[in-house]
Structures are given as structure tokens and as C-alpha cells.
Amino acid sequence: MASVNAAPGGLTGFIDRGRKIELQFILMTILFACVAFVVLTPMWQILTQSFQVSKPGEAARWGFEGWKAVFTETSLQKAAWNTVTLSVTRQLFALTGAIFIAWLLARTDVPGRKIFEFVFWLAFFLPALTITLSWILVLDPQFGLLNQLLRGFKDGNGPFNIYSFAGIVWVHVMGTSLAVQVMILTPAFRNMNSAFEEASRISGASTMGTMVRIFIPLMMPVIVAVLMLSFLRSLEAFEIEQILGTPIGLYVFSTWIYDTLYQHIPRYDAVSALAIVMILLCTGLIFLQRRVVGKRQYTTVTGQFVSNPIRLGKWRIPTAVFLGFMCIIIVGVPMVFSVMGTFMKLFGFFIQDPWTLKQWETALKDRLLARAVGNTIVLAVSTAIVAIAVHSLIAYVIVRTRYVARSALDFLTWMPFTIPGIILSLGLLTMFLQPQFRPLYGTMPTLVIALVISGMPFAVQIMKSNLMQISKDLEEASFVSGGNWFHTYRRVVLPLISPTLVVIGVISFISSARNISQVALLSNTSIRPMSIMQLDYIAEGKYEVAAVIATILLFMSVILALVARVFGFRGVGSNQ
Amino acid sequence: MDDYILQLEGVTKIYGKARAVDSSSLQIKRGEVFTLLGPSGCGKTTTLRMVAGLERLDEGRVLYKGIPVADPANRIFVPPHKRNMGMVFQSYAIWPHMTVMENVGYPLRLRGVGGSQLRDQVAKVLELVGMSAMIDRPAPMLSGGQQQRVAICRAIIYEPELLLLDEPFSNLDAKLRNQMRVEVKLLQRRLGITVLFVTHDQIEALTLSDRIAVMSEGHIEQVGSPSEMYDNPATPFVRDFLGQTVVLKGKLSAGSDGRVGFAMTDGASRGTVLYSKKHTLKEVTQDADAFLSIRPEDIQVLPMAEGGLAENSLPGKIEALLFVGDRYEARVLLPDGASILLHLSRTGGWKEDQPVQLALPPERTHVWPA
């Protein structure tokens, strides 16, 4: 070994005036202030707006009319009732189905379970609007394929009508709830020690009896958690209700807010008051979930265990057929019908010689669509870049530093989870209508801000768990070896977290590209992304172009989801 | 200047209200292996991390080669990457995204060495631990022992004058641990490097160290060579922490020939007086409560003689006798009702239930205040 004793720099004369700590502290405080500002301002705006009863353009006037409307107006009470009944019905079907399917995938020897699990995972990434459009093709009362088949291609309506309470429930269960619940429950179910079930079997219980008496009670904490999460998400559901409910006058909270704002005289006060009720409701649900789950520990998962699959015997093949059928419904239908729709002369009309390439030609020449594609790419790329930078920084401050306000920061990043998308959109809209932010109104950065906020809870969470898995020793070893902060970050930290950064980027990209409710109120024609254009076109009955957009968004989501999977993203519940 | 490479002066670390390290002072000589020994939570790792610069001091100061590297009172703090010390972490902290070459070469690369010179030096240092063949192996493919060797190489490659070892053997199995201890000792002798070593394992501390500091609850209890510490512990904590000790309860009684008298107060031997040449009493007061301690291996076990007990002896009875090959292990019941584990020679013809007498040589016992 040649002598290389000189440290970079030198030992003597190194005086710490405390400046470094102060600089770090200032930077972290700036970050904290920014997060607090973007998270809290929209909520504050909504709160003040709910007491501001003057019409737009008039001088400010304060009053309680908005709040009165919330508690007296029948249309609103109907919307509230619809929201609750729709959510409950959906969860009833979705959770029952998801528990059963997740149990089959995790605990039994059903053939092809790996493939089925992958399909359910993939279904999580399909855009809700694309799914809705596909199901319209199948279940529209007049031209829906299934209805036409059942009535023998005669005129008139078939037995199914997608524009109904049942239709909304169906699309939600098959399109959103089932996939996400299976995705969270399956890994949790798999981690249970099978000795619990085997003990029940030896005691004389059947497979089904064991599932009902032993398995479900043991898994109750995770089931309750999933139920609460799904219920929360269903309170803020927007686009499916907007497409399928609004035409028949069936409103929920979110669509009522949207439509009330698009009337001749927008009623900001009533909408804001309702928004506050919804935020309180969601926050209450989260605390309820934390209490329920907090009481019971996951004692079923121990360090060492065996997980022997349950033998299904003669039920193996029928079960596999059932799961295959489910996969066709949740992934096959959206994929096949959205593509099929783009090649039809008239959307849904399976007449003689119905096929054409004209839709693609028209769509690709459509300058509005070209602009929307451009907008979506700009929006999704900027959101992904900002999300990677901001969320990893926040997570780093929370996990790795001793910043005094780090737990407050943690709480702030979790808060957007309680804000329904349309309400975040409303809050930011109100904020950007204020004189001091007015120049930003109707620009792309407003959409990026909305999407970065809405993605914050999830992204910060996965980044935090990734950082916690990286031992601090790895960084300290670099410091001791002579590496300064920058070297250590570039050579040690960055290479180790980069797979997670890619996952955050890709997930942010997908969710911004297909996002509707967070940006619905903020976009205008010049910055309108594809997803909103699709919503507008469906509302106007331009199904053919909408189908083209749906197909583009669908395949973009699927391809990027697969990229995220390659970089280690397995699911929201498993923490990689 | 004296020959101390590292000096800690009243070093204190406060977490919330707890003083994790409480005004500890140490002086470490150039070229020695100095061990911080103590149970978990005693502040030894925190002390090591303050030396490395990974933790900040709240009070006191650290001098490295006579120069203050941490002195909060004068706002002096040299960050870890400027201190030029080597450190091996308990978890080894081998970067999983790099090869052996990249891990070991990292400190040199930061010091401006590159290309073939870098590779030559890495190969040379790997040779010291017999790992030169694995230079291009990715880090995740290393076994525990190999990871540790890589960690040591990374810490010594830039020839630091001080090597910090944080429980480096605790993640190895017993056999490998013994082997690595010998390797580290040989390496240290060859390089003449000063080592500050942290462990909770007394055997490790006794075998490897030139000097040991035993720590407890943030304080340094005693500093000395391994044999000094073992034979003349300064506090009951050090006595009990290092090796086995038999402790008897009693009272002080009249001494003779400069020996302290100690009278048993419990059980059948009540009143029996033992004499001891060593004590840690501030003053010898008759009838004051006291303890007498002795290492089990210093107790001489003899068959009970016809004429009763010899001087400085206690009666005992073999409760259980286990033959372990080269010796017997016996559980011997003492007159105060306690039983102790003693090793007996295999040639004694011992039997269970046999009455024995236990001779406690005065130069081997030690009297402590209650």
C-alpha cells in the first residue's frame, strides 16, 4: 500500500461555526413551509369560501346560506344518500368477492394462480373511464352487445341498463374495487401461518368451514383496513358516476359539486360547505380505521412459518375456470372493447360491415386531440419529475434527519389522503382565483401541483419504507471513508434508491395521465389533457374519438405498469 | 506532546434527558488495542461514534493526534470524512450495489487514486486477508466472514492511524469468530495500527486488548490491562461483568497480619471468619456489613478432612457432578444455601453428596463494602 494518508481537505483549522446546521435547518424549513402551504391553503380556501355568499364578481359578503343549503336542499340530500348507498352496495359485493379470490390465490393450489394474481395486479392500472366506455359497449340498453344478443338483434331495449344504480355498482366493482382489494389482500393472506388452518382441519372442520371460522376472523384487521380504504375511495369516486349517473339525474357528492360549479351561477358557498363535510367524513373514517386496526396486532405472522396450500381436489379445475372468467371480465372486456370501439363506424352499432379505420384517421388528424396528447405528455412528465424530487426529499427528511418538525411533516404529507380529488381541485381553483395567484390560473403548473399533492401520501410512503430498509451504516461508512455529503448521496444513496425513484416516477406518470377528478376543475381548453378531453367527448356523445383516447391511455398505462413491475413495484399493500 | 493518539476529555452525550455518555475521559496510546467493554446501552457505541464524528458531543472534547476534532464549547467539529479514521461497522455496511473492488477502493478513489494503481492497491490489501481472488465479486454474493474481511480492508486501505471497530464479530458464528479474532490481532500487529474496539463480549475484550475500559450506564468504571481488570476489579460492576465470581455476604471482624477479617452471617457457617489480603473499604469498621468475593477457579476443593475445616475454609457438599471429559463440573452447595459451579480435576474420585472443604486463599479473596 502506498501512503495516501492525506484526507481530502485537512484536519487542522476546521472550525464549525454551526453554519452547516443552520443552512440544513433553513432548507428543511423551506421545504416544510412549501408542503404546508400547498396542502393547507386549498383547505383554508374552501373553509372561507363556504361562508362567502356573494355571487362571482360581486363584493365579498359573508353568511351561512351555503351551509344552510347543505342541510336543507333536497337535491343534495339525495346526492348524499346516493353516495352512501352506492358505496355500501359496492363494498358489499367487492369485498366478498375480493376475500374469496384473494384466499383462492394465496391459500389454495388452484392452477395458474401466479398468472391470475398478475392479471388482477394489472387490472389495478386500467383507467376507470376506459373501463366505463367498454362496459357501455356491452351493456348500453339500446346498442350494448349483450343486450342486442339477448333480444336477438331486434329493436328496443335489452334487459340490462348500464345507466342505473346497478350499472354504476357493476362498473365500480369490476373496474376498480375488486382489483385493488385483491391486490392488497393476497400478499397479506399469503403471510399467514398455515398451521392455524391445519389445526382447524384436524379438529374436523371442512375447507369452507375453516375459511369462515378461522381464516376470516384471523385476517379481520387487514380486511377492515381494506374496507375502510375502499370506502374512502368510493366516497370520492367521480368519473364513473359522472358518465353513468348524470344522464339519469343520479348524483353523488362529487358529481353534484362538479355540476353545481358548471351551472350559470356557480354556487361556491354550498359546494365548499359540502366539501368540508366530506373532508371531515373521510378524516373520521381514517381515524376509525386506525383505531380498529390498532387494537389488534398481526400476531398471525411470525418469523418462521410454513404456508402449505390447501388442496382443492375436484374443485381445482372449476375454480381455475371461475378465476379465468373473472380475469376476462375485469381485464379482457376493457381491453377488447375499447380497441374494438375504435374500429367501429358507429360506436356500439354491430351492423353489417361495422368496421372502419376512419376513427383513427380522424382522431390522428384532430388538432384538439394532438394538443391533448401533447398536454398529457407535458403534464405527466413534469408531474413525474417533480414527484420524484419532492417526495423523495420529504421522505429523506422524515426518515433520516433529526429535523424538529419531521413528524408534523409526516402528518402533512398524509393529509391529502383525506381530501377527495374533486375537492382538492376545487380548493386549488379557489386559491388560483385569488388575485395574488391569478397569473397561474389556467396554466400547466396548477395541474402539476394538484397531481403532485394527490400523489404525495402514496409516494412518500413507499419512499419512506425504502429508505428505512437501507441501513444508515451504509451512508456512515461512506462518511468515515472520506466521502462528503454529495459523494455519499451520488455514489451510495442514489444507486440504492433509484429503483424506487423509477417506480414513483412511473406511477406518477400513469396516475397523472389518466387522472380526472384532481384536474377536472383546473383545466381549460388550452391545457386540457387527454383524460379530461375523453370525459368531455363522452358527455357530448362523441364516443368514437373518446374510444381512441381510451385505447391510447389504456395501453400506455399497461405498458408503464409493466415497467414499474420490472423495477420492483408489486403492490400498494406489500411495501415491495 | 505525549504519545496519546486519541484523548477524550469529559465527553458527554445527552439524548433528551438521559446522559448516554456522561463526562467520560480516556487516553489511547499509539499502537495499542483499546477496548470499550460493557453491556448493551452502556454508551460504548455512542462513544465510538463520537470519536468517528458520526455523533456530536454535548460537552467535553475529543483530541485526535493532539488536535481537537470535536469541541462544542469552542464550536469545533471536524466532520467524519475529514477525520481520516478507519471504521468497521457491526453490520459491515458493505454497499450492496458495488463489487468488492468498488467497496474497498472507495476511500482511495475519494483520495484521488484511480486506474491500475487503485486496482493494485485494492488487490494488495485484499491479499492481507486472503481475498484477492474475489476482487470482482458483487457484494451480495459474499458470506458473513467475507463481508467482514472486505469491511476491514475498506477501513485500512488508506492506512488510517486509528481503526474503529464496532462489535465486528457479533454477526459471525462461534467458530468464525475465533478465527477472525486471531486474524485481526495478527493484522494489527503487522500494521502497527491503533485500534479502538467496542464489544459486549468479555472473552473478546480479554483476548484482543492491550487495555480495556469497562463502561456502565454512560460512565467509565475502570481502565486497565486485561489481567489487572480480571484480578483486581475496582468496582463490583467490573468484578461481576468480567468472568465468574462467587460472592458471600457477611460482616467485618477483627483482622490480623494486615488481613481483613470477614465473618459469615448466614447459614450453617455463621461466625466462621475468613481473612482477605485485598479490600476496597474506605475504612475498616467492626461489624459493618460487607461482601467477600473470589473467582471460582481460585477456590481449592479438597475432600473433607477428619480433623475438621482448615483455616480460611468453608464446608460444602457436591450436589451434582457432571463429567465433561477433561474435568468434572460440580454444583457445590455452600453453607449459606447458595450453590456454585466449580471445576474439579478428573482424578479426584469425586462422588455426588460428598462433603468437601473449600479453601479460599487470602491473597485471592477480596472484601467489598456493602
Pairing of strands B33-37, B194-199: parallel
Please give the Cα distance from A100 to A563 (Å, whole number): 29
Quote the minimal CA–CA distance from A24 to chain B in Å: 15
A255 and A298 in a single domain? The answer is: yes
> Is A177 domain-assigned?
yes
Q: What chain B residue is nearest to A494 in terms of C-alpha separation?
A: B97
B297 burial (CB, 10 Å; 0-12 / 13-18 / 19+) is exposed
Please give the Cα distance from A261 to A271 (Å, whole number): 8
Interface test with A, best of B82, B125, B132 (most A CBs within 10 A): B82
Nearest neighbour of A5 by CB, restricted to B81, B84, B89: B84
Q: Which of residues 149-208 of B touch A (CB under 8 A)?
A: 151, 154-155, 157-161, 164
Quote the minimal CA–CA distance from A491 to chain B in Å: 9
Does the beta-carbon distance from B79 to A484 stay under 8 Å?
A: yes
A324 and A388 in a single domain? The answer is: no
The whole-angstrom distance between residue B284's C-alpha and the CA centroid of its chain comes to 31
Nearest neighbour of B121 by CB, restricted to A2, A10, A496: A2
Task: Give the three-state DSSP class for B31.
Answer: coil
In which residue are the cell numbers 383513427 written? A360
Does the beta-carbon distance from A7 to B75 stay under 8 Å?
A: no
**pLDDT at res. A9:** 43
Does the beta-carbon distance from B52 to A8 stay under 8 Å?
A: no
Last residue of a domain, one of A287, A322, A350: A350
- Judging contacts by C-beta atoms under 8 Å, the chain A residues touching residue B121 are 1-2
> Is A8 domain-assigned?
no
Q: Which three cell numbers stand for residue A251?
A: 348524483
B13 at A interface, C-beta within 8 A: no
Q: Which three cell numbers stand for residue B20?
A: 448516554
In which residue are the cell numbers 359573508 written? A62
Q: How confident is the model at residue B308 (pLDDT cuts 50, 70, 90)?
A: confident
**pLDDT at res. A5:** 43
Q: Which three cell numbers stand for residue A503?
A: 417506480
- Judging contacts by C-beta atoms under 8 Å, the chain A residues touching residue B125 are 1
Interface test with A, best of B46, B76, B95 (most A CBs within 10 A): B95
Please give the Cα distance from A82 to A251 (Å, whole number): 7
A342 and A401 in a single domain? The answer is: no
Which of A207-213's residues contact partners 24+ apart within 8 Å by CB, and which partners?
Answer: A207/A310, A207/A312, A211/A103
Give chain A's largest Cα–Cα span: 94
Per-residue pLDDT of chain A (576 residues), as tens digits, is: 344 444 444 444 445 544 455 677 888 899 999 999 989 988 888 888 888 877 666 677 788 888 888 888 888 889 889 999 999 999 999 999 999 999 999 888 899 888 999 999 888 888 888 899 889 888 888 778 888 778 766 666 778 889 999 999 999 999 888 998 998 888 888 877 777 777 777 777 777 778 788 888 888 888 888 888 888 888 888 889 998 998 898 999 889 888 888 776 777 788 888 888 888 888 888 777 777 665 554 444 444 445 667 778 788 899 999 999 999 999 998 888 888 888 887 776 766 777 888 888 888 888 888 899 999 999 999 999 999 999 999 999 898 888 888 889 988 998 888 888 888 888 888 888 888 888 888 899 999 999 999 999 889 988 888 888 888 889 999 999 988 888 888 899 888 888 889 888 988 998 898 888 888 888 887 889 999 998 888 888 888 888 888 888 888 888 888 888 888 776 654 333
Domain spans, chain B: 4-241, 246-369
Task: Give the three-state DSSP class for B274.
Answer: strand
Within this chain, domains B4-241 and B246-369 share the same CATH topology: no
Does the beta-carbon distance from A482 to B54 stay under 8 Å?
A: no
Nearest neighbour of A480 by CB, restricted to B69, B87, B95: B87
Does the beta-carbon distance from B82 to A14 stay under 8 Å?
A: yes
DSSP-assigned states of every residue in B181-192: HHHHHHHHHHHT
Tell me which residues of chain A have a C-beta less than 8 Å from any C-beta of chain B: 1-12, 14-18, 471, 473-474, 476-484, 487, 491-492, 495-496
A445 and A532 in a single domain? The answer is: yes
Pairing of strands B366-369, B328-333: unpaired
- Which residue segment(s) compose the domain that A186 sits in? 64-350
Q: What mean pLDDT value characterizes chain B?
A: 89
A511 and A491 in a single domain? The answer is: yes
> Is A75 domain-assigned?
yes
Does the beta-carbon distance from B53 to A479 stay under 8 Å?
A: yes
A404 and A500 in a single domain? The answer is: yes
Does the beta-carbon distance from B159 to A479 stay under 8 Å?
A: no
Quote the minimal CA–CA distance from A247 to chain B in Å: 56
Percentage of chain B exceeding pLDDT 90: 47
Task: Give the three-state DSSP class for B329.
Answer: strand
B80 at A interface, C-beta within 8 A: yes
Q: What CATH number has the domain bearing residue A29?
A: 1.10.3720.10
Does the beta-carbon distance from A482 to B113 stay under 8 Å?
A: no
Helices A494-514 and A543-566: angle between axes, nearest 10 degrees: 170
Read off the pLDDT of residues B43-92 as tens digits, 9 standing for 90 and up. 999 999 999 998 889 999 999 999 999 999 998 898 888 898 999 998 88
Quote the minimal CA–CA distance from A184 to chain B in Å: 29
**pLDDT at res. A306:** 52
Q: Which three cell numbers stand for residue B84?
A: 481520516
In which residue are the cell numbers 392452477 written? A111
B56 at A interface, C-beta within 8 A: no
A143 and A198 in a single domain? The answer is: yes
- Judging contacts by C-beta atoms under 8 Å, the chain A residues touching residue B64 are 11
- Judging contacts by C-beta atoms under 8 Å, the chain B residues touching residue A480 are 52-54, 80-81, 83, 85-87, 155, 164
Does the beta-carbon distance from B80 to A474 stay under 8 Å?
A: no
Helices and strands (H and E) in chain B: how many: 8, 22
Domain count, chain A: 2
**Cα→Cα distances B146→A438, B153, B163, B176, B312, Å:** 62, 11, 19, 10, 53
Quote the minimal CA–CA distance from B187 to chain A in Å: 14
**Cα→Cα distances A296→A116, A217, A218, Å:** 31, 11, 10
Q: What chain B residue is nearest to A472 in terms of C-alpha separation?
A: B93
> Is A249 domain-assigned?
yes
Does the beta-carbon distance from A1 to B125 stay under 8 Å?
A: yes
> Is A251 domain-assigned?
yes
Task: Give the three-state DSSP class for B9.
Answer: strand
Last residue of a domain, one of A319, A350, A381: A350
- Judging contacts by C-beta atoms under 8 Å, the chain B residues touching residue A476 are 52, 54, 80, 87, 89, 93
The CATH architecture annotation of domain B246-369 reads: Beta Barrel (2.40)
Last residue of a domain, one of A350, A375, A409: A350
B95 at A interface, C-beta within 8 A: yes
A73 and A177 in a single domain? The answer is: yes
* pLDDT at position B148 over 60: yes
CATH classification for the domain delimited by B4-241, as one of 3.40.50.300, 3.10.20.30, 3.20.20.70, 1.10.510.10: 3.40.50.300
> Is A134 domain-assigned?
yes
Quote the minimal CA–CA distance from B154 to chain A in Å: 8
3-state secondary structure A320-347: HHHHHHHHHHHHHHHHHHHHHHHCECCC
Please give the Cα distance from A557 to A72 (Å, whole number): 42
**Cα→Cα distances A494→A396, A497, A574, Å:** 12, 5, 23
A80 and A115 in a single domain? The answer is: yes
Which of A554, A132, A147, A541 shows the shortest CA–CA distance to A350? A147
Quote the minimal CA–CA distance from B171 to chain A in Å: 15
> Is A3 domain-assigned?
no
Does the beta-carbon distance from A8 to B110 stay under 8 Å?
A: yes
Nearest neighbour of A16 by CB, restricted to B77, B84, B89: B77
Beta strands per DSSP E along B200-245: 211-216, 219-224
Interface size A-B, in CB pairs within 8 Å, comes to: 122
Q: Which three cell numbers stand for residue B321?
A: 457432578
Q: What chain A residue is nearest to B54 in terms of C-alpha separation?
A: A476
B255 at A interface, C-beta within 8 A: no
Quote the minimal CA–CA distance from B80 to chain A in Å: 5
Q: Which of residues 113-142 of B touch A (CB under 8 A)?
A: 113, 117, 121, 124-125
Task: Give the three-state DSSP class for A2.
Answer: coil
A34 and A153 in a single domain? The answer is: no
Does the beta-carbon distance from B87 to A491 stay under 8 Å?
A: no
- Judging contacts by C-beta atoms under 8 Å, the chain B residues touching residue A469 are none
Which of B138-147's residues contact partners 24+ apart within 8 Å by CB, and which partners?
Answer: B138/B98, B138/B99, B139/B94, B139/B95, B139/B96, B139/B97, B139/B98, B139/B99, B139/B100, B139/B103, B140/B96, B142/B94, B142/B100, B144/B171, B144/B172, B144/B173, B144/B176, B145/B172, B145/B176, B145/B179, B145/B180, B147/B92, B147/B94
> Is A13 domain-assigned?
no
Nearest neighbour of B93 by CB, restricted to A10, A476, A491: A476
- Judging contacts by C-beta atoms under 8 Å, the chain B residues touching residue A5 are 84, 158-161
- Please name the amino acid found at residue B253: S
Q: Fill in the DSSP letter of residue A227.
A: H
A310 and A226 in a single domain? The answer is: yes
Positive or negative, the CA dihedral B229, B230, B235, B240 is positive
